[in-house]
């Protein structure tokens, strides 16, 4: 999608659809809507009198060939209550506009921001919303309608004096949303078209294009490094594992400066292994690599936005299969860090691969760690499909991430992690076991297991099992992989790398 800033007068904007929004209880039309209403001969006032323009969130009023405008259509979306309106709502509105219009074969749109939304952050949210909404997972459809997408969009309403903010927001929003779409594309790929080797190839191609350093460890190197936990999961599959390392280095690195490590679970298919899953919904386990995809997507944007800190993504990738060589319940494995693990349940494989991912990230010099993983069904029970589950070992660092989540419009909720839960992962024969001895607190037990490998390094765990996949289409978004985490991680990296020491 081609996006530009348009500073022309409203009536002069030539586009297939001019889009704006009205708030609930706005009487009858205020601010810039008043000017629009004048241009269209009072049509908006009349619509609001009939109750068709009440401002309810995501309500739509569509006028064709509005007199007085060069635009072929005027779409007014409901924006809900003004005091509840922020960049997250703006992102969704812009997305809903694109999806409403592209279903009508509209190719060009101009999004008119309201008077309070002429900031760089607002422009960024609008651009993100539009690019994310334009994405559809129709790659393997052979009967695709040609070009079922918006090809060109404009940010309207900006004046020359505020144009710099629009340009900045546009540039940022574009790279962030395209990177999130890249993560979504990977998440949607079926496992026969995205094995660990193929994921590594896709990550390496992205890194080369973006100017990032990349290192792919093959099964031999993984064995040399004694990554026994990752290997134990991989041994049940004929597909070899990969450890993907992508590094961003800023122009100037100070000695002793903090290094952000992003560790992502990338199980390209999770059958459960010998502790095999049921057939119901098993096809969805192709998205068990979305933690890794989020890190790859974030790195793509980080390469362009250039934070001042070094960032290293470490992505352990394998299938979890029940082949003849597969590990069996009760097996004991030695992780790269040297800790022994009794594998009670082979379906709790994500924490195994993360154990070695985290050990390796620490070896590479990461001083702060964030992991993202579709880790537990238990987090879906706790938080549903709305919030990411957040666990952190360092309050200041965790607060920083939660603030980034709010800034990026990705919902997340902190869950507890304290030493009383450690009891649950004690093993009779090894240092720890990979599932809890009790029944409850599954998401916390999983986090507790990962924490064992972090040592003193400040660490945050994001359980995205409930949020990385969307079963139904939303007015602003296609169904399938969501690319959740990408925007928050980019925001965190940018702030972490700034001189603002509260980031650490």
Q: Return the H-helix or E-strand segment holding 246.
A: strand 242-248
- 463 forms part of the interface with Zn ion (CB under 5 A): no
Binders in 211-270 for ligand BES, by CB under 6 A: 270
- 345 forms part of the interface with ligand BES (CB under 6 A): yes
- 435 forms part of the interface with ligand BES (CB under 6 A): yes
Q: Which of 77, 243, 465, 503 binds ligand BES (CB under 6 A)?
A: 465
* In contact, 290 and 341? CB cutoff 8 Å: no
Catalytic residue among 46, 163, 226, 277: 277
Q: Which of 243, 378, 415, 460 binds ligand BES (CB under 6 A)?
A: 378
- 347 forms part of the interface with ligand BES (CB under 6 A): yes
| Total chain residues near ligand BES (CB under 6 A) | 16
E strands along 80-189, which residues? 108-112, 152-156
Name the segment binding ligand BES (CB under 6 A); options: 331-339, 352-360, 377-385, 396-404: 377-385
Q: 120-133 and 87-102 helices cross at what angle (nearest 10)?
A: 40
* In contact, 176 and 487? CB cutoff 8 Å: yes
Binders in 161-200 for ligand BES, by CB under 6 A: none
Q: Return the H-helix or E-strand segment holding 377.
A: helix 377-383
Catalytic residue among 242, 300, 351, 362: 351
Q: Which residues of 266-303 are buried (b: 16+ CB within 10 A; e: fewer)?
A: bbbbbbbbbbeeeeeeeeebbbbbbbbbbbbbbbbbbb
* Beta carbon of residue 329, minimum distance to Zn ion (angstroms, whole number): 13
- 372 forms part of the interface with ligand BES (CB under 6 A): no
Q: 163-188 and 120-133 helices cross at what angle (nearest 10)?
A: 30
Which residue has its beta carbon closest to ligand BES?
A: 377
- 319 forms part of the interface with Zn ion (CB under 5 A): no
- 438 forms part of the interface with ligand BES (CB under 6 A): no
- 349 forms part of the interface with ligand BES (CB under 6 A): yes
- 371 forms part of the interface with Zn ion (CB under 5 A): no
Q: Classify strands 152-156 and 2-6 as parallel, antiparallel or unpaired.
A: parallel
Q: Which of 42, 330, 365, 377 binds ligand BES (CB under 6 A)?
A: 377
* In contact, 368 and 259? CB cutoff 8 Å: yes
* Beta carbon of residue 288, minimum distance to ligand BES (angstroms, whole number): 4
As a whole number of angstroms, the distance between CA 39 and CA 13 comes to: 12
Name the segment binding ligand BES (CB under 6 A); options: 128-136, 231-239, 342-350, 399-407: 342-350
Active site residue 351: yes
In terms of Cα–Cα distance, which of 48, 356, 87 is closest to 217? Answer: 356
Taking CB under 6 A as the rule, which mask of x and - marks residues 274-303 in contact with ligand BES? --------------x---------------
Active site residue 277: yes
Taking CB under 5 A as the rule, which mask of x and - marks residues 256-285 in contact with Zn ion? -----------x--x---------------
- 319 forms part of the interface with ligand BES (CB under 6 A): no
Write out 389-424 in H/E/C secondary structure: EEEECCHHHHHHHHHHHHHHCCCEEECCCCHHHHHH
C-alpha dihedral sign at 357, 458, 378, 445: positive
Name the segment binding ligand BES (CB under 6 A); options: 189-197, 300-308, 341-349, 404-412: 341-349
* Beta carbon of residue 435, minimum distance to ligand BES (angstroms, whole number): 4
Which residue in this structure is represented by tokens 């619509």?
A: 47
- 288 forms part of the interface with Zn ion (CB under 5 A): yes
Helix/strand/coil percent split, the chain, to 5: 40, 20, 40
Name the segment binding ligand BES (CB under 6 A); options: 114-122, 138-146, 374-382, 486-494: 374-382
Beta bridge partners of 5: 155
**115 to each of 35, 91, 157, how far by Cα in Å?**
12, 16, 8
- 189 forms part of the interface with Zn ion (CB under 5 A): no
- Cβ distance to ligand BES smaller for residue 346 or 404: 346
Chain centroid to CA 94: 18
Residues annotated as catalytic are: 277, 351
Site residues for ligand BES per CB under 6 A: 270, 288, 345, 347-350, 374-378, 380, 435, 442, 465
Site residues for Zn ion per CB under 5 A: 267, 270, 288, 347, 349-350
């Amino acid at each position: 999608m081609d996006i530009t800033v348009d500073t022309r007068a409203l009536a002069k904007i030539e586009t297939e659809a001019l889009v704006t929004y009205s708030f609930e209880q706005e009487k009858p039309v205020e601010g810039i809507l008043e000017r629009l209403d004048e241009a269209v001969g009072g049509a908006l006032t009349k619509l609001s009198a009939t109750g068709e323009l009440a401002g309810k969130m995501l309500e739509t009023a569509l006028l064709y060939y509005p007199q007085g405008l060069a635009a072929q259509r005027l779409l007014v979306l409901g924006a809900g209550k003004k005091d509840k309106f922020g960049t997250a709502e703006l992102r969704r509105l812009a997305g809903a506009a694109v999806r409403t219009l592209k279903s009508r074969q509209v190719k060009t749109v101009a999004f008119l921001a309201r008077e309070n939304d002429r900031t760089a952050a607002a422009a960024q949210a609008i651009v993100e919303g539009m690019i994310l909404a334009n994405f559809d997972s129709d790659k393997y459809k052979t009967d695709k309608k040609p070009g079922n997408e918006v090809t060109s969009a404009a940010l309207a309403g900006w004046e020359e004096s505020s144009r710099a903010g629009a340009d900045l927001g546009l540039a940022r929003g574009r790279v962030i949303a395209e990177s999130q779409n890249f993560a979504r594309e990977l998440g949607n790929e079926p496992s026969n078209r995205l094995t660990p080797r193929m994921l590594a190839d896709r990550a390496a191609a992205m890194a080369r294009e973006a100017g990032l350093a990349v290192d792919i460890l093959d099964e031999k190197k993984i064995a040399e490094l004694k990554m026994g936990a990752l290997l134990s999961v991989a041994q049940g599959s004929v597909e070899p594992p990969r450890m993907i390392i992508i590094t961003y280095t800023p122009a100037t690195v100070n000695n002793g400066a903090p290094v952000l490590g992003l560790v992502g679970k990338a199980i390209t298919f999770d059958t459960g292994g010998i502790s095999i899953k049921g057939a119901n919904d098993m096809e969805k386990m192709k998205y068990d690599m979305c933690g890794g995809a989020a890190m790859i997507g974030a790195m793509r944007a980080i390469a362009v936005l250039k934070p001042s800190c070094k960032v290293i993504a470490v992505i352990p990738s394998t299938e979890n299969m029940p082949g003849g060589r597969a590990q069996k319940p009760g097996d004991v494995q030695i992780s790269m860090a040297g800790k022994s693990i009794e594998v009670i349940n082979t379906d709790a494989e994500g924490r195994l691969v993360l154990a070695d991912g985290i050990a390796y990230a620490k070896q590479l010099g990461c001083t702060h760690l964030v992991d993202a993983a579709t880790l537990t069904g238990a987090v879906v029970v706790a938080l549903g499909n709305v919030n990411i589950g957040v666990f952190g070992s360092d309050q200041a660092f965790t607060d920083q991430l939660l603030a980034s989540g709010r800034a990026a419009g990705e919902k997340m909720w902190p869950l507890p992690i304290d030493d009383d839960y450690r009891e649950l992962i004690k093993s009779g024969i090894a240092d720890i076991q990979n599932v809890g001895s009790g029944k409850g607190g599954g998401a916390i037990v999983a986090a507790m297991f990962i924490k064992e490998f972090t040592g003193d390094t400040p660490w945050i765990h994001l359980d995205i099992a409930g949020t990385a996949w969307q079963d139904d289409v939303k007015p602003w978004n296609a169904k399938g992989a969501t690319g959740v985490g990408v925007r928050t991680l980019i925001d965190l990296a940018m702030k972490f790398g700034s001189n603002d020491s509260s980031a650490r």
